[in-house]
C-alpha cells in the first residue's frame, strides 16, 4: 500500500548523522516507484497535495529523487530513522497530517489515485555503513548543508556474490583510505540493504552540486594507484555479481525536508510563489457609445 511506504518517511535530515554520532540516524527508509509515463502529470499533482498536508500539519519529512539517468520515470523517497520503531511512529505522524488536511475519506482517495499512477513499487531499509564511508561531514549541521546545497545524487549499486560481502568491503575500505588521503576531499556515503532486497547489496552515494563536479572527480585508477587498482579489479571480478550506476535529480516540489536542509538553500527548497501579473483593464475610448 502506497501510504505505508512512499509517504511514511519522516526524518530530521536526509543522511543527517555524522560518523562521530552514527547511532543517531543509522537507517535509511527508501521507497522507489516507477511512474506510468502517461500518468506523470497526475502523479505530480497528487505528490504536491501530500507534501502540502505534511508541511502544514507537522507530518513527516522526506527527500525526493527523480532518476534522470537509469530506468526512466523512477522516483525515490528517502529519509533517515534512528530505529525501526521510529519508522512506525513516523507513519502515524504522516497519517495524522493527511487526515487533518483532507479528512479520512479524501486521504484514502488520494492514496488510491497515486497507486493508479504507478507501474511498480519497492520498499527498502538500508543501514549506514559509516566505517566504509569517507570524508563524512563533522556534524549534523554540516551534513544538512551538504545535502541542502546539492542538486544531484550519484549512486553506484553493488550486488555482491553470495558469501563475498567481506571481500567487497575490503575493497571499499581501500577506496575509503585513498579518498581520505586525496588532496580534494569528496564525501562518499556507503549503506547496505537490510530489508527489501535480495542478497547482499551496497549503495555508494555522492551528493553533487552540479553534473560538472563529476568531470573533476579523480578516476579510481589514479586514486588507488596501479597496484591498488589491479587488486581492486581482481577482487571485484571475484566478489561482485553486478553493478548499476544512476544519477538522480533532487526534487524539492516532491520533498518535505527538515529545516536545516531548507536553510542551506531556501530559494531552492522553498521557492516563493510567482506573483500573478496584473492584467491591465481595457478602457473604452472616451466618448464611445455603450452597446445596448
Q: Within a 10 A sphere around the Cβ of 257, how many other Cβ atoms?
A: 25
**How many residues are listed for the chain in this entry?**
292
Could you give the CA distance from residue 73 to residue 76 in angstroms, rounded to a whole number? 10
pLDDT tens, position by position, 166-192: 999 999 999 999 999 998 899 999 999
Q: Which three cell numbers stand for residue 158?
A: 553493488
Q: Which range marks the domain in which residue 7 is found?
A: 2-263
Could you give the CA distance from residue 249 to residue 211 in angstroms, rounded to a whole number? 10
The pLDDT of residue 275 is 62
> For residue 242, is it within any domain?
yes
The CATH number assigned to the domain holding 159 equals 3.30.70.100
CA distances from 267 to 136, 253, 261, 263 (A): 26, 12, 12, 9
The pLDDT of residue 16 is 38
Confidence of residue 140 (pLDDT cuts 50, 70, 90): confident
pLDDT surpassing 90 at residue 1? no
- Contacting residues for 9 by C-beta, under 8 A, at least 6 apart: 29, 31, 60, 61, 62, 77, 78, 79, 90, 94
The CA-CA-CA angle for residues 124, 14, 109, to 5°, reads 60
The CA-CA-CA angle for residues 54, 79, 99, to 5°, reads 25
User: How large is the average pLDDT for residues 254-283?
Assistant: 79
pLDDT surpassing 70 at residue 278? no
pLDDT tens, position by position, 28-40: 999 999 999 999 9
pLDDT surpassing 80 at residue 290? no
The pLDDT of residue 82 is 87
Q: Which residues pair with 1 in a beta bridge?
A: none
Q: What is the DSSP string of 220-256?
A: HHHHHHHHHHHHHHHHHHHHEEEEEEEEEEE-GGG-B
As a whole-number percent, the residues of the chain with pLDDT over 70 amount to 85
User: How large is the average pLDDT for residues 200-226?
Assistant: 95
Of the listed ranges 149-153, 191-195, 271-275, the one predicted with least confidence: 271-275
pLDDT surpassing 50 at residue 219? yes
| Chain mean pLDDT for the chain | 88
The pLDDT of residue 272 is 85
pLDDT tens, position by position, 101-117: 999 999 999 999 999 99
Could you give the CA distance from residue 129 to residue 111 in angstroms, rounded to a whole number? 33
Q: What is the pTM of this model?
A: 0.85
pLDDT tens, position by position, 114-136: 999 999 999 999 999 999 999 99
> For residue 71, is it within any domain?
yes
Counting the structural domains of the chain, the total is: 1
Amino acid at each position: 500500500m502506497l501510504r505505508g511506504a512512499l509517504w511514511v518517511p519522516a526524518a530530521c535530515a536526509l543522511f543527517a548523522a555524522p560518523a562521530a554520532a552514527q547511532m543517531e540516524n543509522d537507517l535509511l527508509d527508501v521507497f522507489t516507484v516507477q511512474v506510468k509515463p502517461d500518468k506523470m502529470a497526475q502523479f505530480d499533482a497528487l505528490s504536491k497535495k501530500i507534501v502540502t498536508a505534511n508541511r502544514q500539519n507537522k507530518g513527516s519529512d522526506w527527500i525526493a529523487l527523480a532518476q534522470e539517468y537509469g530506468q526512466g520515470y523512477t522516483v525515490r523517497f528517502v529519509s533517515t530513522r534512528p530505529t525501526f520503531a521510529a519508522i512506525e511512529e513516523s507513519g502515524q505522524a504522516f497519517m495524522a497530517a493527511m487526515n487533518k488536511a483532507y479528512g479520512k475519506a479524501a486521504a484514502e482517495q488520494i492514496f488510491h489515485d497515486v497507486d493508479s499512477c504507478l507501474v511498480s513499487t519497492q520498499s527498502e531499509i538500508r543501514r549506514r555503513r559509516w566505517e566504509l564511508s569517507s570524508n563524512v561531514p563533522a556534524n549534523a549541521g554540516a551534513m544538512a548543508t551538504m545535502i541542502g546545497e546539492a542538486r544531484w545524487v550519484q549512486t553506484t549499486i553493488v550486488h555482491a556474490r553470495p558469501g563475498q560481502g567481506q571481500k567487497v568491503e575490503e575493497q571499499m575500505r581501500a577506496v575509503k583510505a585513498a579518498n581520505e588521503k586525496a588532496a580534494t576531499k569528496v564525501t562518499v556515503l556507503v549503506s547496505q540493504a537490510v530489508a527489501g532486497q535480495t542478497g547482499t547489496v551496497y549503495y555508494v552515494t555522492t551528493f553533487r552540486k552540479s553534473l560538472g563536479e563529476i568531470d573533476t572527480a579523480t578516476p579510481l585508477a589514479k586514486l588507488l594507484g596501479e597496484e591498488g587498482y589491479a587488486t581492486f579489479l581482481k577482487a571485484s571480478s571475484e566478489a561482485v555479481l553486478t553493478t548499476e550506476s544512476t544519477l538522480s535529480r533532487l526534487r524539492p516540489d516532491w520533498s518535505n525536508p527538515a529545516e536545516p536542509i531548507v536553510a542551506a538553500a531556501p530559494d531552492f527548497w522553498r521557492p516563493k510563489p510567482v506573483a500573478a501579473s496584473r492584467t491591465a483593464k481595457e478602457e473604452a475610448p472616451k466618448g464611445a457609445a455603450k452597446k445596448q
